[in-house]
Amino acid sequence: MELLTRKNPLKCQKLALELSFKYLSDMKTAKRRNQHLSWSSVSMPVEIFNAMGITVFINEVYAYLSAASHTSTEDLQYLEELHLSRDLCTVGTCGMGARLRKGSLMPKYADSILFGTFPCPTAPQNAHYFHHLKLKKGQAPPIYIVDTPFEPMDDPDFQLNYYCEELEGAISFLEKVSGVEMDDKKFFDTVLKSYEMTENLKKVFLLRKNIPIPISAFEIFQVSVPFLVFAGTDEALNLSKILLTEVQERVKNNFSVHPLDLDVKRIGWLGTTVVNPYDLSVFKFMEERGAFIVFEEILFLLFGLTKPKNRDDAMKALAKRMLFISYNLTIEERNDIIKKWAKTYCIDGAIHHVHQGCRLEATCDRQITDALKEINIPVLSINSDCIDESTYSPSQMKTRIEAFIELLKK
């Protein structure tokens, strides 16, 4: 089956790729540009760094880019030599390997380390381990850990106010170690731009409900990195506008990513990861067999931001987004959200990718499967490591997916 997006690619893909390379370049050249470089993760709102003009090494984003460029295994092998097992979450450890391994192109230093305890406790543990190794060499950067409330509370206002105070503490920490003061107007403008970007992306994702499907998951994957790392900047906002315009134009022209006469099976992709980035052929493999991913749970990290009215409201908007995404809720609340998405996007089946070493996914796999069975949605659970390519069996992955697609067609 010919995939129509190969002949009609999104024009904004080129811009997204340029911004992704800019992100890597910014990290590599931060010291030369006399720019403060902070090591962090998706557990921290990137808008804080962008508002202060601080270059940030986002652990998870680097891990995905490293896996996509087939260099992540070298970082993980080096960590094994330091007695850090691959049984741990490789998304969290890959970035540390890049910072320690001599052959890596990533900078071997960080001016500061700033992590949150959400959604995974492994991330701050890795940060402390990196800090310990550097401390032994007298090169340890200052470290700050933000405590993210998780347990449901009877008083949600207390939870929100507590987390806002934690984020304010993180800003004070960055001001102290970087010498850069947070400008309140700049912070508000950054969060407002991030909100506008989010609204554009929501519209794009809602258009994926359409029949025929106007944009493929592979195309979404290709343009997603800038939204994660440049949220709140003019570049990310502009990219979101261009993407929305292009997808709206496709819908207007009745463009489809698949032949109109094809019996399409709509798939929801669940879990803390997307398709293994070192084997993007899985997208094509599924689409050639008539199965198209119409939403990815991980990318809903981008959503949930409300429109801020002032500086304090902007902080609350960031805090709410971080607190109330599905990974920071109880499994019952997360399942309710997944079932809502399943109905909204009219999916025929779901694939739950359980990343090896991720306790967050391993402990809730059965509950998610049972919850979707309640609304007659079959689920395929796949266990694989999305960063460590050495553990991957492409034939096994594709055989299981193909069998699942055949099941959906019966």
- CATH of residue 42's domain is 3.40.50.11890
Domain containing residue 306: CATH number: 3.40.50.11900
pLDDT tens per residue, range 91-120? 878 877 777 777 776 777 789 999 988 777
Nearest to 38 by CA among 57, 20, 63, 22: 57
Give backbone dihedrals phi and psi of 162, rounded to 5 degrees, phi first: -60, -45
- Please count the other Cβ atoms lying within 10 Å of the Cβ belonging to residue 291: 23
Report the length, in residues, of the chain. Answer: 410
Q: Are 80 and 209 in the same domain?
A: no
Q: Are 155 and 190 in the same domain?
A: no
Nearest to 335 by CA among 380, 275, 270: 270
Residue 159 lies in a domain: yes
How many domains, the chain? 2
| Per-residue confidence (pLDDT) for residue 2, from 0 to 100 | 46
- Cβ 237 vs Cβ 47: under 8 Å: no
Q: Are 32 and 118 in the same domain?
A: yes
Q: Are 279 and 380 in the same domain?
A: yes
Q: Are 314 and 216 in the same domain?
A: yes
Residue after which a domain boundary falls, among 148, 181, 214: 181
Q: Are 197 and 100 in the same domain?
A: no
Q: Are 286 and 392 in the same domain?
A: yes
Residues 6+ apart with CB under 8 A from 326: 297, 300, 333, 334, 337, 338
Nearest to 212 by CA among 304, 287, 305: 287
Q: Are 173 and 192 in the same domain?
A: no
Q: Are 249 and 134 in the same domain?
A: no
| Per-residue confidence (pLDDT) for residue 185, from 0 to 100 | 98
Angle (nearest 5°) at CA 351 between 346 and 356 = 150
Nearest to 177 by CA among 134, 113, 116: 113
Band of residue 137 on the pLDDT scale cut at 50, 70, 90: low
- Please count the other Cβ atoms lying within 10 Å of the Cβ belonging to residue 135: 13
Q: Are 231 and 152 in the same domain?
A: no
| Per-residue confidence (pLDDT) for residue 4, from 0 to 100 | 53
Classified as helix, coil or strand, 346 is coil
| Per-residue confidence (pLDDT) for residue 151, from 0 to 100 | 61
Domain housing 195:
4-8+185-409
Q: Are 147 and 189 in the same domain?
A: no
Highest averaged pLDDT of the listed ranges 136-145, 148-157, 247-256, 271-280:
247-256
Rounded alpha-carbon distances, angstroms, from residue 93 to 24, 66, 98 = 18, 12, 9
Residue after which a domain boundary falls, among 157, 181, 205: 181
Arithmetic mean of pLDDT, 123-147:
78
pLDDT tens per residue, range 353-380? 988 777 777 778 889 999 999 999 999 9
Band of residue 303 on the pLDDT scale cut at 50, 70, 90: confident
Rounded alpha-carbon distances, angstroms, from residue 317 to 54, 198, 214, 243 = 21, 12, 31, 24
| Per-residue confidence (pLDDT) for residue 285, from 0 to 100 | 92
Residue 212 lies in a domain: yes
| Per-residue confidence (pLDDT) for residue 136, from 0 to 100 | 62
pLDDT tens per residue, range 189-213? 999 999 999 999 999 999 999 888 9
Q: Which position has the token pair 């599905």?
A: 326
- Please count the other Cβ atoms lying within 10 Å of the Cβ belonging to residue 84: 18
